[in-house]
Amino acid sequence: MVKEFIKSLSNSDVEGELIKTIFISLIVSFITIVILYFLILRNIQNFIPKYGFFLFFTILTYAIILPSTKHVKAYKEFPCMTGMMIGMTIGMIAGFLPGFYIGATNGMFYGSVIGMSIGIIFGIWNGKCCGIMGMMEGIMAGFMGGLMGAMTAFMLLNDNLQYAGVIVFVISSVIICGLNYMIYKESHQLEKVSNNGSFFIVFLSFLMTVITILFIVFGPRGGLLQ
């Protein structure tokens, strides 16, 4: 089954859109940051050394979350247990990683608020594929993920923070890959819906990148980062 899933990544079916969607999200995000750099960010002192690492990994975070969301939305409805796992996994990753990277630049409070907001929104959006239980899982996972991500970054401010940022991203990427494989394995008998468009990927990549850049660079800072 794993070999079949890997082979399906190169076809024109739903799973074949995953790699394509990752590249679309990355291209849109990097074009956005280049445009903003030449418009306003190049005037920020030490912009790249101070914020480059965390912006780069936040953009990578969106590039792994959005394809999974598109994968989920390709199907009309999932069984209860599968949908709960979807809501919990995406809600947790979408809360933890942004919370971690924004918490590293803006402090625990603001990292927690942004992380929880993103995690809960994505948790509800994806978890509703099985009804209220999936949505509840998404809310709980986004809530806890946002808090834990920001708290972890805050605790590591003076202790190999960037190394930890790479480690948590790699582990989260493995979890997301496992989720996509689970969706593939569980979806053979499920009804598909039309989901070939990439507009919402382009729009969300652009919107989330702009909001993240503006908040990390110009947003309020709390605690030790003031």
Q: Which two tokens stand for residue 112?
A: 């927690």
Torsion of CA 51, 57, 58, 62, to 10 degrees: 160
Q: Closest Cα partner for 172 from 212, 136, 207, 145?
A: 145
Intervals of the chain under pLDDT 50: none
Q: The whole model's pTM is what?
A: 0.89
What pLDDT does 148 receive?
Answer: 95
From the centroid of its chain, how far is CA 108?
19
What number of CA atoms fall less than 13 Å from residue 62's CA on the CB side? 29
What was the pLDDT predicted at 80? 87
Q: Is 196 exposed, middle or buried (0-12, 13-18, 19+ CB in 10 A)?
A: exposed
Residues in the chain: 226
